[in-house]
Chain A
Amino acid sequence: MSTMTNSVETRGLSRAFDGNTVLHDLDLDIREGEFVALLGHSGCGKSTLLRILAGLDDEIGGEVTVPARRSAAFQSPRLLPWLKVWRNVVLGLPGRPDRDLARKALAEVGIAERAGVWPKTLSGGQAQRVSLARALVREPELLLLDEPFGALDALTRGKVQQLVAELWERHGCAILLVTHDVEEALLLADRVLVMDEGRIAHELTVGLPRPRDLTAPEFVTLRARLLNWLGVTRTLEGTPS
């Protein structure tokens, strides 16, 4: 396996909804183990792209190659409320439900003690951790994250972002993170793509050492560049929504 093997390759990928083209002739490569963040305004096609890579949408033009072992976490945790937390984690794995495996995966995201409860008793951050455990227990080669921190409060979000960074370093899978949040993208990703009207409009390689410092001048410069690409004036603090 060479270091330049691609985990994801799309060639001439396009997708239209009722004649309204959402993805235009998209060529995208993600290397093995690479962390890519996908930024863009609502409706730019980033979630559509993620759903296609997840295999949830196959009414596409062009060609997509993805690893067979891939999993996803979404903005809402999407746990089945009628299965205990640990059963949710190992749902869909072949063989009998393996409680030890689930417990191990839950321990990795820091909530092993919640293995035996109903999902509805979890807080938002806990549920999102379970969702991550469920994705990672499958040992994916590609992990798709669709704004998994979007619904969390700022404090919880920081912790879960940190967790994702650690998990990525440990598991070494490729990650595609769809987000609105410029800082989140710069904190986590090797490469940031900015999508606009169904095309990759801009691309930025983040060469900063990890863990990254939000206040470092290089970070601030990159953030300004991304915000500019997204069409957000520089005087406006925060992130586009």
Chain B
Amino acid sequence: MTTKPLDPAVLPQQTAPRSSTAEAPPPARVTIRGTARTARRLTVPRSVRRTAGPVGLVLLWFLTSATGVLPESVLASPVDVVRQAVELTKSGELPDAIAASGRRAAVGFLIGASVALSLSLLAGLFRLGEDVIDSSMGMFRAIPWVGLIPLFIVWFGIEETPKIALVALGVTYPLYFNIYGGIRSTDSQLIEAARMMGLGRLGLIKYVILPSALPGALVGLRYALSTAWLALVFAEQINADAGLGYLMSNAQQYFRTDVIVLCLVVYALLGLACDFAVRILSRRLLTWRANFEGGA
């Protein structure tokens, strides 16, 4: 670090005792060098750095498969996975499977979301509803929902119903707790002000309570959708005769790791697509907040 020559008038005493001692006194003035210029070194853009990891892993996967280090019985090469994707799409098997799984996820989600919405509104808006529903939901949540699969098979058989029921159940909890929490965290000062302005109970619900529950509800929706796909993966292990799970369990019998990996990739892509949709939805519904946060 270089310091500019000091004005002797500023530091009359500092220079005096310096002569003999080994440890120099700390400099009285320091120069702060700007880093703004030097930051323009040869840097890789952040987006490139971020994609480098995943791309590198796929490349490693490809190389180890091509050289035979990674045998096909353990994990098929990415080339085979892509080839399978093309073949199964041509034969119509993959689109059919996606449609069957998608239908289960959609029906299950709609049922679960309706239940969650009704319960959370009842519990959030009525004292009686809160007392009856919320404690019960707390109790049911302690049960791991995946553990209900045997019971669902006993109740609903092995057809579509238990699969849809499992998805519905998985969706209900995150949506319920987030909407209920959102309703309950409504700012009481806003409620007072709105009451003062002449809003009745319905007006309060419409203009104050539901809008303030919306951010929480959207977070819940994101969890719910990812849970829906997760629930589907579990549910489709039950004696499925169509859908991605069916494709997977078939492939398992023939040790087709390429098909298994393909199905996992499809599950992941569907999950990502849902997540993306909710993010778009949030951005549109919460413009009042996005504006404040700088349009992000």
Residues A96-152 near B (CB distance < 8 A): 118-121, 134, 138
Contact A118 to B291, CB < 8 A, known contacts A56-B196, A92-B198, A92-B199: yes
Whether B193 lies near A74 (C-beta < 8 A) is: yes
Whether A92 lies near B197 (C-beta < 8 A) is: yes
List B contacts of A72 (CB < 8 A).
193, 196
Chain A nearest Cβ from B217, distance in angstroms: 13
List A contacts of B156 (CB < 8 A).
none
Asked if B190 CB lies within 8 Å of chain A CBs, one says yes
Whether A120 lies near B196 (C-beta < 8 A) is: no
Dominant secondary structure of chain B at its interface with chain A: helix
Residues A60-118 near B (CB distance < 8 A): 71-72, 74, 76, 78, 80-83, 91-93, 118
Residues B179-236 near A (CB distance < 8 A): 189-190, 192-199, 203, 207-208, 211-212, 214
Distance, CA A126 to CA B207, complexed state (A): 22
Chain A residue nearest to B197 in the complex (CB): A92
CB-contact partner of A121 in B198, B199, B214, B292, under 8 A: B292
Number of B interface residues in the complex (CB < 8 A) = 21
Chain A nearest Cβ from B209, distance in angstroms: 11
CB-contact partner of A80 in B192, B208, B214, under 8 A: B208
CB-contact partner of A118 in B195, B203, B212, B288, under 8 A: B288
Chain B nearest Cβ from A112, distance in angstroms: 20
Name B's A-contacting residues (CB within 8 A). 189-190, 192-199, 203, 207-208, 211-212, 214, 287-289, 291-292
Q: List 27 A-B contacts (CB under 8 A).
A: A56-B192, A56-B196, A71-B197, A72-B193, A74-B189, A74-B193, A78-B190, A81-B292, A82-B211, A82-B214, A82-B288, A83-B207, A91-B194, A91-B197, A91-B199, A92-B194, A92-B199, A92-B203, A93-B197, A93-B198, A118-B287, A119-B288, A120-B289, A120-B291, A121-B292, A134-B197, A138-B197
